Amino acid sequence: MRLYSKNQVIGIVLVAAALASGFTLLISSRDSDTAAVNSEASLETPELVLQTGTMYGNDEFALSTLDVASSDGYTQDEQQNISVYERANEAVVNITTETVGINWFLEPVPQEGGSGSGSIIDTRGYVVTNTHVIANAVKIFISLSDGSQFEGTVVGTDKENDIAVLKFDPPKNRDLSTIPFGNSSNLKVGQKVLAIGNPFGFERTLTTGIVSALGRPIKTASNTIIKDMIQTDTAINPGNSGGPLLDTQGRMIGINTMIYSTSGSSAGIGFSIPVNTAKRVVSELIQFGKVRRGSIDAELVQLNSSIANYARLSTNNGLLVSRVGAGSNAEKAGLKGGTEAVRYGAGRSSSIIYLGGDVITGIGKDKIDTLTDYYSALESRKPGETVEVTVLRGRNQLTLKMVLAERQ
């Protein structure tokens, strides 16, 4: 081992320190030159990143995809929610009803009914909501965003689509906010939607979600099928019924109607009536007080195994044509009724039906197995329209062209 004196050690340390200092200065100088070059390059071509959004590195990509907050501290998504709510919430109303009950002395007494939501669609005071919101109501009260309340009247209802139009008379100096109709035919699964309503009585509550599915056929409590329902995961709870489902422009694309839930509260599966259906129905309710629909003017009986076995039919499904009116559109089209009268049912619910007639199995492209299928197939058909009706006559299948009558 080599030994060094104290003076030698001090000399070595000083030399090493001097070399290290010189190396650091050299690196710092080179970095400064590089930074200067880069700075000049960025000053010469700033438009590359700002205008084209070209991604030259991971850092630039991360910055370009951030949901940048505005000067107010809200993200773009939050600003969108706020904008829609501020634009539409004053046009959403709270609907409460009064029904009649029976007290202990069997006397009729008023009692609190149901509640729900609705949308003002016209400055004259027209409101669209669900039929079930006003079921059995003797009085209807419509509360506006400022707390004022008006008594409403029923313009018309359509149980098949669960749509009702109400009207109240606003003060002459009151400018009502309205919600414009959108278009439900161009909706996409995954599209953002918003709902405003009065869940559990909490007025004008906003919830957001997406379109989860389209074209759902849903059977209602009245045993009818509403076609093309919009499925959404937007929170819809009791009290939301009748309120609007909105797109990001604040346009109504649906009427919130029902939920699928085992608890009675939102489980992320809600259904809205498409606004294109609502537009068609609302127009007729305001004009006629009802929806005018086409119908086959004949007495029809839904088949079951008992009737099919007794009549020795080749099918258990479809609608048996019991009787056809003389001179009716159905008779002119060649539809045949039955000739053998039998009593069907028991007790007071029994009735006379006629066997031996045609069995309707299809209308247009729709298969007809039940009365629900029949009403669904003709839901959007108008009196005077011509439809193709498929019937089973004995064991032969025939197609008849028939002009629809007006449903009574």
- Active-site positions read 132, 162, 241
Distance of alpha carbon 213 from alpha carbon 157, whole angstroms = 27
Cβ atoms within 10 Å of 27's Cβ, excluding its own: 9
Q: Which of 401, 397, 385, 391 is nearest to 336 (CA)?
A: 391
Residue 12, phi then psi, degrees to nearest 5: -60, -45
**Cα 174 to the center of its chain, rounded Å:** 30
d(CA 104, CA 251): 49
Residue closest to 212 by CA, chosen among 189, 196, 229, 195: 189
3-state SS of the chain is: CCCCCHHHHHHHHHHHHHHHHHHHHHHHHHHHHHHHHHHHHHHHCCHHHHHHCCCCCHHHHHHHCCCCCCCCCCCHHHHHHHHHHHHHHHHEEEEEEEEEEECCCCCEEEEEEEEEEEEEEECCCEEEECHHHHCCCCEEEEECCCCCEEEEEEEEEECCCCEEEEECCCCCCCCCCCCCECCCCCCCCCCEEEEEECHHHCCCEEEEEEEEEEEEEEECCCCCEEEEEEEECCCCCCCCCCCEEECCCCCEEEEEEEECCCCCCCCCCEEEEEHHHHHHHHHHHHHHCCCCCEECCEEEEECCHHHHHHHCCCCCCCEEEEEECCCCHHHHHCCCCCCEEEEECCHHHCEEEEECCCEEEEECCEECCCHHHHHHHCCCCCCCCEEEEEEEECCEEEEEEEECEECC
Residues 263, 354: Cα–Cα separation, whole Å: 46
